[in-house]
Every structure is written in C-alpha cells, then in structure tokens.
Amino acid sequence: MAAVSTAPPALTRPYEGIAAPARMRSVSSVLETVDLTNHFLIAMPAMADPHFSRTLTFICEHNTDGALGIIVNRPMEMNLADLFERVDIALEVPDFNGLPVYFGGPVQADRGFVLHRPSGSWQSSMLVGGDLALTSSRDILAAMGSTGEPAEFIVTLGYAGWTAGQLEWELSQNAWLTVPASPAVIFDLPPEERLAAAMQLLGVDFARLSDVAGHA
C-alpha cells in the first residue's frame, strides 16, 4: 500500500541508487564545485536505464553527499483519488480526483512525495529554493484534501537518488543535459510537454537531441 513517509529523504545516509564505477570518485574530485540543485536533468537518447529513459528530472538537492531528484514527466495509472483512498485521507476537492500520481524514481517507490509551491510550513519538508519545497509528511496531503492548498504540486511515488560523486560521473559520460529549472515547466504544462519545454530552455529541439553532447 502506498504511504507517505513521516521523515524527509536526507543526504546524510546512502542512497539505493544505480551503482556507478569506482572511478567516479576521481571525477567527483574534479567536479566537486558542481551544484545542480534547482536544475533539470534531461535524459540523453542513449540512456540505457529504463527508469530514466526519456525523463525530465528536477534536482531538489545536490551536495558532496549525493543528489536527490524527482522525475516530473512520468505519470502513473494511479490518480490522486486512488492514492488518498490508500492512505486513508479524505479528498474533498473534486478537481484533484483525476490528477495523476507520478513515478518519481526507483528509490523508496512505495512512499509518497509532494513537490509544491508555495513552500509553506509542513512537518517534513526540504526547501529547494525560492518558494519550492519537497514534502514527505502526511500533513500536506490532509491540507490538499480539505483546502486544495498548495494548489501547485505534483505527487510522486519514489524519488531518484545518487551517491556521492555518482551524478558527476554520469554527467562526465554525457548521460544528461542540464539546465536551470523553470517551475512553469513543472506546474503549467501537461506532463507530455515538459521534456520538450525543458529542452527549449537550452534552445534544443527534441529531433536534434541525439546530436548534442555534453551538458549546459
């Protein structure tokens, strides 16, 4: 049964992410100043991991301990009405019933996370920057169900995690394009348009993505 965690994900413990080669440590030492918090990761066409193929991932935190992100363009068959019923929280806002729950990543895929703005004040939240936050406590679902606030959000099951140096190594292998994130891409567009919109922030058309190397 899907559940919302009572503690936010934290970079003080290892992630159960995809293992990267040991040589990523040497790459990390070269790229140690990279901070992709509040950036998009755009999966390159050669991405072999099916969890991330054709995905747009929003990075919520990135530091020397690793990185945490949420995939924002992969809706599941489950909708909010289904999720609220599973976690036994009343959903009294009809407009929310049919909204999709997203596959946020392969880590803790049985737990719920809410990426939202405004950030507000919740029991277990990670402030991303500006007025964006990632919350993993039940109180935000209760508020959404009764008041409809926050009104701008996506709800995911699971998140994407990278151990120390792993994301830097993947960037060195041209697995991703990166670009500063735009909340409008997440909250104002349907999921099928978000990847292309993020690429347009780089001035790149989807048809030309296979010809692009490196990252922004």
Domain boundaries, the chain: 34-110+158-211
Predicted local confidence at residue 2, as pLDDT: 37
The token pair at 211 is: 């010809």
* Backbone region of residue 84 per phi and psi (left: phi > 0; alpha: psi in -120 to 50; beta: other values): alpha
Predicted local confidence at residue 33, as pLDDT: 57
The domain over range 34-110+158-211 is classified in CATH as 3.40.1740.10: yes
Predicted local confidence at residue 216, as pLDDT: 44
pLDDT tens digit at each of 216 positions of the chain: 333 433 344 332 223 333 344 433 444 444 455 799 999 999 998 888 899 999 999 999 999 999 999 999 999 999 999 999 999 999 999 999 999 999 999 999 999 999 999 999 999 999 998 899 999 999 999 999 999 999 999 999 999 999 999 999 999 988 999 999 999 999 999 999 999 999 999 887 766 665 454 444
Q: How many Å apart are CA 44 and CA 176, to the nearest integer?
A: 5
DSSP 137: S
Q: How far from chain centre, in Å, is Cα 112?
A: 12
pLDDT digits (tens, 9 = 90+) for 137-172: 999 999 999 999 999 999 999 999 999 999 999 999
Q: What is the DSSP string of 143-154?
A: HHHHH--S-EEE
Predicted local confidence at residue 53, as pLDDT: 92
The token pair at 125 is: 């939240």
Amino acid present at 22? A
Q: What is the pTM of this model?
A: 0.83
